[in-house]
Structure 1
Amino acid sequence: MGNVQAGRVTAVSRDGEHRFSKGVTDVITLLAGLGVEGDAHAGTTVQHRSRVAADPTRPNLRQVHLIHSELHDELHEQGFGVGPGELGENITTRGLGLLDPPRGTRLHLGSEAVIEVTGLRNPCAQINAFQPGLLKALTPRDVDGNVVRKAGIMSVVLVGGQVRVGDPIAVEVPPQPWRALERV
Structure 2
Amino acid sequence: MRRTDVATAKRFRDTVLPCLDDAYTLARYLTRNPVDADDLVQEAYARALRYFDGFSGGDPRPWLLTILRNCFYAWLRARRAQQGEPLPDPDETIAEATTDPWGQAPEDPEETLIRIDEAAVVRSLVEALPEPFREVLVLREMSDLSYQQIAAVTEVPIGTVMSRLARARLLVKRAWLARQAEEK
TM bracket, shorter-chain basis: under 0.3
The structure in which a higher percent of residues are strand is 1
- Which protein is bigger by CA-based radius of gyration? 2
TM-score, normalised by the number of residues in structure 2: 0.23
Q: Which has the higher contact order (CA 8 A, sep 6+)?
A: 1
TM-score, normalisation: structure 1? 0.23
More helix, by proportion = 2
